[in-house]
Structure 1
Amino acid sequence: MTFSLTRRTLFGTGAVGALAAPTLLTHFAKAQDRMETSATTDGTAFKTLKLGAAKVTVISDGTRMSGKPHETYGLNQTADAVSALLTENFLPADGFVNGFSPALVDTGTDVVLFDTGLGEAGREMGTGKLVDGLKAAGYMPEQVSVVVITHMHGDHIGGLITAGKPTFPNARYVAGQVEYDFWKDEARAGTPAENGHKAVLEKVVPLAEKTTFIADGAEVVPGITALAAFGHSPGHMVFRLDSDNKALMLTADTANHYVLSLQRPDWEVRFDMDKAAAAAARRKVFDMIATDRLPFIGYHMPFPAVGFVERSDLGYRFVPATYQFDI
């Protein structure tokens, strides 16, 4: 059997073909109306999707390559076990790529930015692309009305200040009270947390008068709710977005790798400050996401960092989003 597709066979020669083509084109046009495209311009990348009445844009702040995955993930496992899991998932065993993906939520009333990337300090190593990505997506820094800091590690607060001035001059700020109190405390001096303490003094403290410090269950703006997920850092928060009966979770650094942190949520991660609490938070957050079949944006998931999870034997399997938000 042979098959031939020509213009004649595609559109038909009778009434059926004449009617079918406009119908197909109409459906396509409607899909295009609902869909915002991803783009790359001079190394910047973004992906925009619709969630109910909200527009959500994920921006790549850049990526960073690292070696020796076992020195970051699976610290309580053997190097061979980490290598085996990577190999099983078609990934190299001797290195990994870490991405950084802030997200912008435009509710129609507020323009809410979650985290700010590495900022100017990251540009020498190919990161710090958030502002360029925002502009490529059609937003200027002055349009951001709320900046939410999920936690105060350097790759989340680095872009708050640029050249000594607020990067988002018209924004108010939202951050966890527990997180801020920990990092601001002078007791961090002389400890492994000293560099983080200094970064918060430089990037966050100057904005404190414009910052609302929140706890578990707080409303950021209508439709965006904070949830405590402590462990990765002392006051690490995740956020739920609800719009027109649709929901999405912004999980920040609850899971730092789409295989090593999700398929094995109990494996210890070097960046998790309280490793037992971080593992418990992973299970709590991703059990909820799996049960409710919610999409989520993970700050370090493969760009565009949007996907789903399903339960697997020992943890969860990451299912990247494809066209779910386009039609």
Structure 2
Amino acid sequence: MVTVDRRSAFKLGLAGAAGVAMSQIKIGTSHAQAAASTEENPGFYRFKLGDFEVISIQDGIRVADGPHPTFGSDQEAAEVAALLEANMLPSDKFANGFTPVLIKAGDDLVLFDTGFGAAGQANGLGKLKSRMQAAGYKPEDVSIVVITHMHGDHIGGLMENGAPAFANARYVMGQTEYDFWTAPDRLSGPTEGNAKAVAANIKPLAEKATFIGDNGSVVSGITGIAAPGHTPGHMVFNVESAGKRLVLTADTANHYVVSLQKPDWQVRFDMDKEAAAATRRKVFGMIAADKVPFIGYHMPFPSVGFVTERDGGFFYTPASYQFDI
């Protein structure tokens, strides 16, 4: 019989836990690093959805003051701070990620949104193309680029040195969104800056674009859904393959605590705040009821998770091994 004192048992327990943790780390990273990469963290996450391959890609991350008053702009700062602290988050700073998505659907490689592009690289953003290549795809492999809406962090990577960044792609975007941002009167007033970005990045590609509305098809298995509020023509996308389903929610909710647990709280960047709140309830109510995963453009990387209804809002659970088994 071997006797072990309490301190030795504690050390043995730590050693055993460390061994388990290391094995879990090896399992988790081997999946994400399926393609060769020289980076310790390649910034992409790959999984299967039926017959589709899905890759979420981090274009970059930006730390800023907040979340209040960007999130909960109609609430007292103390109210927002209390919610954040209850969820173990700081109340004076937050990290905002930007996550385009690649889907290999049959012969098509479909890219949803393009990040900041070269203009963001000086600030540690604009990493989409390099991380695509780390994941095993070149920009010229992309056959379709889908734009969920036309804010700068979604369209900044469309053009590069005056030429299309995805040379062989055609484009799919919402008709309502395009009509709004290209109207002549958008080039003055509060919409001026973004309208100029649309003129530089979207309009040169219009001849190769298909404009869709609610229930418009991208390819077989991928359908657009009107989700206005954040912008007038903001869209989300339903993805289905071989009995599996995923929703790309774009900017329907941009903070995994504030915008989901308090979907009615206003967000500064939502152009129609009441419509945006109604869309959050509709989209995430559907996702919760159907128990399907979603990818949100600004959710914590790898930006894949689930929601359940709780206390009048939605509680976010990040995906772990659901797609590995």
Q: Do the structures match in fold with TM over 0.5?
A: yes
Partners of 1:251 and 1:206 lie apart in 2 by: 26
> Secondary structure in 2 aligned to 1:104?
strand
**Which consecutive residues of structure 1, in runs of 5 or more, have no partner in the other structure?**
6-30
What are the superposed Cα offsets for residues 271-290 of structure 1, whole Å, 9 maximum, x if unpaired?
A: 10000000000000000000
Q: Quote the offset at 1:214 in angstroms.
A: 0.4
- The correspondence of residues 151-166 of structure 1 with structure 2, limited to 5 A, is 151-166=149-164
> Secondary structure in 2 aligned to 1:220?
strand
- The correspondence of residues 43-54 of structure 1 with structure 2, limited to 5 A, is 44-54=42-52
Aligned pairs, number: 302
Q: 2:143 aligns with which of 123, 130, 145?
A: 145
Q: Quote the offset at 1:41 in angstroms.
A: 2.0
Partners of 1:273 and 1:212 lie apart in 2 by: 24
Partners of 1:187 and 1:36 lie apart in 2 by: 46
Partners of 1:229 and 1:81 lie apart in 2 by: 28
What are the superposed Cα offsets for residues 38-75 of structure 1, whole Å, 9 maximum, x if unpaired?
A: 77728751000110010000000000111032120001
**8 Å CA contact 1:44, 1:60 repeated in 2:** no
Partners of 2:47 and 2:90 lie apart in 1 by: 31
The amino acid across from 1:84 in the alignment is A
Partners of 2:40 and 2:232 lie apart in 1 by: 37
Q: 1:119 aligns with which of 117, 120, 131?
A: 117
Partners of 1:52 and 1:289 lie apart in 2 by: 18
What are the superposed Cα offsets for residues 122-146 of structure 1, whole Å, 9 maximum, x if unpaired?
A: 1111100000010000000000000
Q: Quote the offset at 1:163 in angstroms.
A: 1.1
The amino acid across from 1:128 in the alignment is G
The aligned counterpart of 1:136 is 134
TM-score by length of 1: 0.89
The amino acid across from 1:276 in the alignment is E
The amino acid across from 1:104 in the alignment is L
- Identity of aligned pairs, percent? 58
**Which consecutive residues of structure 2, in runs of 5 or more, have no partner in the other structure?**
14-26
Q: 1:58 aligns with which of 56, 81, 89?
A: 56
The aligned counterpart of 2:197 is 199
Partners of 2:51 and 2:42 lie apart in 1 by: 26
> Secondary structure in 1 aligned to 2:249?
strand
- The correspondence of residues 160-179 of structure 1 with structure 2, limited to 5 A, is 160-179=158-177
The aligned counterpart of 1:82 is 80
Q: Quote the offset at 1:36 in angstroms.
A: 5.0
Partners of 2:39 and 2:228 lie apart in 1 by: 36
Q: Quote the offset at 1:108 in angstroms.
A: 2.3
> Secondary structure in 1 aligned to 2:295?
strand
**8 Å CA contact 1:230, 1:237 repeated in 2:** yes
Partners of 2:235 and 2:260 lie apart in 1 by: 18
The amino acid across from 2:86 in the alignment is E
Backbone CA RMSD of aligned residues: 2.0
**8 Å CA contact 2:32, 2:44 repeated in 1:** no
> Secondary structure in 1 aligned to 2:173?
strand
**8 Å CA contact 2:33, 2:42 repeated in 1:** no
The aligned counterpart of 2:309 is 311
The aligned counterpart of 1:186 is 184
2:263 matched to 1:270?
no
Partners of 1:189 and 1:200 lie apart in 2 by: 10
The aligned counterpart of 1:103 is 101
What are the superposed Cα offsets for residues 207-261 of structure 1, whole Å, 9 maximum, x if unpaired?
A: 0000000000011000000000000001000001000000000000000000010
TM-score by length of 2: 0.89
The aligned counterpart of 1:11 is none
**8 Å CA contact 1:173, 1:211 repeated in 2:** yes
**8 Å CA contact 1:40, 1:46 repeated in 2:** no
